Structure 1
Amino acid sequence: MKQPIELRRIRDFGEIINDTFTFLKENFKPLFTCLFALCGFFVLAGAATTALTQTNTMNMYATKFDTNSYQAASPFISYVVSAIFNAIVIVFGQLSIYLTTLCYISVYLEKKDGKPTLTEVWGYFKYYFLRILGSGFLITLLCFVGFLMCILPGVYLMTVMYLVFPIIVMENTSFRYAFNKSFTLIKDNWWTVFGILFVITLIVGVLGSFASVPLSIIVAAKAFLSLKSFALPLVILFSLMQNILMLAYCLVAIAIAMCYFSLSEQKEGLGILSRMDAFGKNTDNSTDLPAEQY
């Protein structure tokens, strides 16, 4: 049986990227079982609201704009309403994907052997959901203020705030504690965390473009070409694909969790302390230490 990945250890930039994909590969089936079960509603709701928004966009393009005509204004109003609902669903979907992945990793860390089950992850998910939702709202406000002040403070804050959710879930703590600790952990490591987030989000963005780009082309082409009955089925298909590919955001959660574990090990050495405490207590000859730590 393959040994579990040792999460609590110091990693450099390349190791974090590599271990992110290794963790995903070794946990693909149980992780995505949890993601589809806990986030499936948001995927389907996101597909429906995305398709509705794009359909309203095509109707808006097809309407001859007349500022005095209610008929011309109606498609625009429908588009705005559907776009707002779509944005809300997408935000909840991404938050659920992020939280589900962190909960999976937390259970994985606690079990030390075997794969987390849906029941175990669901227990963590419902316990942390409201706390993460409230924290997400506060983080959004803080980053918004940062971007209003200037772009750079917003970028700096956004990178630091990515560590708040893993701290809350892994340490079962409050937003205030996680907020303060995130600044402590990222000290002298901001560029590393930023670089990892940039690489992973770029990969996720490229994956998402396989659906979003064709969808945008179809909507734009409908304004100039007569696609007849082909437009709506294609919009529905690519809207569904776009929201399914949104599950790739689990990569961001895994990567930032790896950053958290690495930074915590640098500052606190919790992994080393736990192994020292367990030394001599385990009579099993097997070990879950990676080879490079001998």
Structure 2
Amino acid sequence: MKRPPQLELYRIREIYEVINDTFAFLRQHFNRLSYCLLLFAGSPVLLLVLAEMALYSRVDVTGLGLHSFTQADTPAQLLLAVLLMLVALLEPVLVAATVYQYLWMTTQSISFSVEAVGRGVWQKMPLLLALTVAYGIGLLLSALCLLLPAVFFSISYAMILVMPFFSPQPTLWGYFQFSTYLLSNKSATFEPAKWVKLFILLFTIFIISFLFSYLLQVFAFLARVFILMFDVSNTTRSANYSNQIFWSIYRALLFLGGIWVSAITLLALAFQYFSFVEQKKAIGLLWRIENLGKSTIFEEDEEEATY
């Protein structure tokens, strides 16, 4: 499989360019990135769906379509609820780790492999979890004051999960300091225009994500109508169990759709991060000067990707 063309990461972008490059990256890397997201971020969801289907296969279903759990099913229900809560907490971090590890690998002169993406994801997970917890605590503390401090904090440090892959820092506090540095001018003074730009970008991405989510909800409504019609006409155990299987698969598909919505936001934040870094350090400009007159098109990898 030929390697997709490489985007120029470090360059100053306007908001529309950030969005354009985000979807350009998704188009170029859709197959490989989808596979990695399904494998590393989607597999816990699919495993829970299988567990839920196995649990309901043991449940007595009445003629009214109600599920009657016995006392023996209670531990399984509790375990399933705990696992669902853990997946809900870990899923955003898994998605971020997968997206950013994949993005980082596209900048390296190494052949692509799913195993390499997986190793990077698991290596970065503890740090990303720690940053997420620290970010959540900071957001909670700022929210205890007023709404505006919480909004300011959430926007100011929205790019923090990109940094472990492209700007490693020695401490957790270093990542928050670097975020503040990116939003400052040359005299190390906070620059409101950069914060506003980041806010507008996130608001725009929110609208785009809302449209995707709305389409998923339309599908949910149609699926619910179909299932209700099926329940009315079928009251047997097999029919109701089939409905439960359908609902489990449907919830899994919604969850996987949510993963892609999150991936869009994460990539947009990454490209905005590259733009801010370029403004501060001119990494892309220096690279172009050093490679002036040289070919900047890397050789396409003719080897098949490891799937």
- For Structure 1 versus Structure 2, the TM-score category normalised by the shorter chain is 0.7 to 0.9
Single out whichever of 176-185 and 34-43 deviates more from structure 2: 34-43
1:243 equivalent among 249, 255, 260: 255
1:191 paired to 2:188: no
Q: What is the distance in 1 between the residues matched to 2:165 and 2:80?
A: 33
Single out whichever of 39-48 and 152-161 deviates more from structure 2: 39-48
1:273 equivalent among 275, 286, 290: 286
Q: Which residue of 2 aligns with 1:181?
A: 178
1:157 paired to 2:153: yes
Secondary structure of the residue aligned to 1:195 is helix
Contact 1:46/1:86 (8 A) holds in 2: yes
Q: Which residue of 2 aligns with 1:147?
A: 143
Contact 1:132/1:165 (8 A) holds in 2: yes
Q: What is the distance in 2 between the residues matched to 1:80 and 1:139?
A: 29
Q: What is the distance in 1 between the residues matched to 2:203 and 2:51?
A: 28
1:207 paired to 2:212: yes
Contact 1:104/1:121 (8 A) holds in 2: yes
Question: Which blocks of at least 5 consecutive residues in structure 1 are unaligned?
Answer: 53-61, 64-70, 72-76, 289-294
Q: Deviations over 1:84-128 (max 9, x none)?
A: 6423312212211111101111111223xx873313322321221
Question: Which blocks of at least 5 consecutive residues in structure 2 are unaligned?
Answer: 55-65, 70-74, 184-190, 299-307
Percent of pairs with identical residues? 20
Contact 1:164/1:175 (8 A) holds in 2: no
Q: Which residue of 2 aligns with 1:100?
A: 98
Q: Which amino acid aligns with 1:268?
A: K
Q: Which residue of 1 aligns with 2:133?
A: 137
Q: What is the distance in 2 between the residues matched to 1:260 and 1:179?
A: 14
Contact 2:93/2:125 (8 A) holds in 1: no
Q: What is the distance in 2 between the residues matched to 1:145 and 1:180?
A: 18
Single out whichever of 159-168 and 194-203 deviates more from structure 2: 194-203
Q: What is the distance in 2 between the residues matched to 1:36 and 1:192?
A: 32
Q: Which amino acid aligns with 1:206?
A: L
Q: Which residue of 1 aligns with 2:39?
A: 37
Q: Cα gap change, 1:168/1:33 in structure 2, threshold over 3 Å: closer, same or farther? A: same
Q: What is the distance in 2 between the residues matched to 1:80 and 1:201?
A: 34
* Structure with more relative contact order (C-alpha pairs < 8 Å, separation 6 or more): 2
Alpha-carbon offset, residue 83 of structure 1: 5.5
Q: Which amino acid aligns with 2:173?
A: R
Contact 1:8/1:261 (8 A) holds in 2: yes
Contact 1:103/1:124 (8 A) holds in 2: yes
Q: Cα gap change, 1:22/1:135 in structure 2, threshold over 3 Å: closer, same or farther? A: same
Contact 1:215/1:239 (8 A) holds in 2: no
Q: What is the distance in 2 between the residues matched to 1:101 and 1:78?
A: 33
Single out whichever of 38-47 and 91-100 deviates more from structure 2: 38-47
Q: Cα gap change, 1:250/1:50 in structure 2, threshold over 3 Å: closer, same or farther? A: farther
More helix by proportion, 1 or 2? Answer: 1
Q: Which residue of 1 aligns with 2:305?
A: none
Alpha-carbon offset, residue 48 of structure 1: 5.8
Q: What is the distance in 1 between the residues matched to 2:120 and 2:291?
A: 26
Q: Cα gap change, 1:83/1:208 in structure 2, threshold over 3 Å: closer, same or farther? A: farther
Q: Cα gap change, 1:20/1:92 in structure 2, threshold over 3 Å: closer, same or farther? A: same
Q: Deviations over 1:156-202 (max 9, x none)?
A: 11112221111121122242221111122134311221222222233
Alpha-carbon offset, residue 252 of structure 1: 1.2
Single out whichever of 82-91 and 10-19 deviates more from structure 2: 82-91
Tell me the TM-score normalised to structure 1 length.
0.76
Tell me the TM-score normalised to structure 2 length.
0.73
Cα RMSD, aligned residues only? 3.8
Q: What is the distance in 2 between the residues matched to 1:158 and 1:23?
A: 25
